[in-house]
Structure 1
């Protein structure tokens, strides 16, 4: 199928490319785009694919008075998982209420908010040829060590959806800027914040073409109208360079450039 990334990606940057649909578990040498929420797509990306609708599901596979075990397809979006957990009074997915993306991408980035992350209640992940236990997936801050395509995941959740936590996490997400963006450009370095560092070096609100480092939060790049790949890449590299020159800190990208 043809996907126009200017319409499909969250930052609204990119051209139209052929994207393969994986409707069965099989090997794929290329990049899975998921919901394209943290992607900057170049004019000449690598081979692209996404998971078919067969992997958009939530299935209860075990349930008792203490916990509920779910199998979730990696094409399932965060909002659907959040609403399922809320409806069935399950704890652990409250942070997904305002995080965009499909499960595969959430796992790949070990997505989270505050102290919560997607791997916290994970048991295992299925690839084309095997099931990997959580401890074999090398999860760390905004990172997962699984290199193969992820098709399904199993989670064990306790009961007690936390309404107070849900509201607090939504408020934390509401403090982030609106507009077409990737979310965070960089991972936060140890004991500091990427946004603070970028602001200190004077780049908050800085523009290149229609790409702008947000005036509200300097770790967000906003496409104000019709930003190009080159505009966005220029700002990302400029922020990285300025922060290193000023603080000696290498900012690590959270956005994936393909």
Structure 2
């Protein structure tokens, strides 16, 4: 079935109003600041709207890509065909269990800085390690986001997902499923949702995006349940400030998507990339950061292909020199071709 963007746009406009846009530049929704247009863009801020959108796209056979804040995504210069939906569900409730413990039920679209800033004056700890994590909590589940020896999996109790796996073969309605912690396979920068998103490298060293699906990803994080503990607000604020200062000292200020590669066991990707002489290398408007070699930054006017070229070079040079197959943390989305 051929996707008719005008039909989809008009139908979604009737349902979602001003949250729908036509030919939306994805550079506005990606921390790299690169990427071509989405045929149709929509922001959904209620769980029922997310389920309704996935249902509609399944029934109409419209390609749907669901995203968060775009902090670990590299959109192609050619953009994305079909519908791109941002999960903006950011409501939450706090249930006090006793004097020292509470339970946070929170939408997947809420940002780490916002929820931390809301919890801190209330004296609830558990997420204070993440003020420098720019993405959403939902995105944090995918890669089990963490820093300084802490990660989301240490406080995560469950997630509700929109399961659209059956929609690939036929126009069926998605279901909402709750996965408990022990079903999520949470390890270093990994969860059960990560494997199908991993970028592979072909024989020529080009990064190859995961194959297109009707609904991407097929399991969409919608809501999280997180354990909180009572903590002195001043102590929380001090920890948050310390994490912010560390990030300011060690990470580049330019537009980026954070760490490009996972650290291999027992080593650091940044060290390996620097060791092969690529630190500071520029291709077009993108650069392997002079401050931290595991960051690629937009130094002005970068295109997605500039970033991908540096990814290819870093991966290939490290593999040739050290035999280490660096795993890409960044996802490639949209209409990619070999470099």
Which range, TM-score by smaller chain? over 0.9
Summarize deviations over 1:138-181 as a string: whole Å, max 9, x none. Answer: 11111221351111111111111544433332232112111011
Structure 2, unmatched stretches of 5+, are 1-19, 56-62, 163-175, 194-217, 334-339
In 2, the alpha carbon distance for the partners of 1:31 and 1:252 equals 22
How far has the Cα of 1:63 moved from its partner? 2.9
Match of 2:242 in 1: 168
Match of 2:314 in 1: 239
Match of 2:302 in 1: 227
In 2, the alpha carbon distance for the partners of 1:166 and 1:35 equals 21
Query: Secondary structure in 1 aligned to 2:159?
Result: strand
Match of 1:143 in 2: 190
Summarize deviations over 1:52-71 as a string: whole Å, max 9, x none. Answer: 4xx21120134311201010
1:14 to 29, 32, 35: 35
The Cα RMSD (Å) is 1.8
Query: Secondary structure in 2 aligned to 1:19?
Result: strand
Match of 2:281 in 1: 206
Summarize deviations over 1:176-221 as a string: whole Å, max 9, x none. Answer: 1110111111011111110000000000000111110001100000
Checking the alignment, whether the CA contact within 8 Å between 2:155 and 2:228 is kept in structure 1 is: yes
In 2, the alpha carbon distance for the partners of 1:127 and 1:46 equals 24
- Of 223-232 and 88-97, more deviation after overlay is shown by 88-97
In 2, the alpha carbon distance for the partners of 1:167 and 1:21 equals 31
Q: Highest Rg: 1 or 2? A: 2
TM-score by length of structure 2 reads: 0.71
Query: Secondary structure in 2 aligned to 1:233?
Result: helix
Checking the alignment, whether the CA contact within 8 Å between 1:211 and 1:228 is kept in structure 2 is: yes
Q: 1:46 to 1:132 in 2, by over 3 A?
A: farther
1:109 to 143, 168, 175: 143
For these two proteins, the number of residue pairs brought into alignment is 256
Query: Secondary structure in 1 aligned to 2:124?
Result: coil
How far has the Cα of 1:44 moved from its partner? 4.4
1:5 aligns with 2:39: no
2:80 to 25, 45, 48: 45
Structure 1, unmatched stretches of 5+, are none
More helix by share: 2
In 2, the alpha carbon distance for the partners of 1:191 and 1:168 equals 25
In 2, the alpha carbon distance for the partners of 1:4 and 1:121 equals 36
1:119 to 130, 153, 163: 153
- Of 160-169 and 126-135, more deviation after overlay is shown by 160-169
TM-score by length of structure 1 reads: 0.93
Match of 1:257 in 2: 332
In 2, the alpha carbon distance for the partners of 1:95 and 1:6 equals 28
In 1, the alpha carbon distance for the partners of 2:81 and 2:322 equals 34
How far has the Cα of 1:99 moved from its partner? 1.5
1:80 aligns with 2:114: yes
2:291 to 216, 222, 237: 216
Query: Secondary structure in 2 aligned to 1:13?
Result: coil
Checking the alignment, whether the CA contact within 8 Å between 1:78 and 1:101 is kept in structure 2 is: yes
2:230 to 126, 144, 159: 159
Query: Secondary structure in 1 aligned to 2:252?
Result: coil
How far has the Cα of 1:46 moved from its partner? 6.0
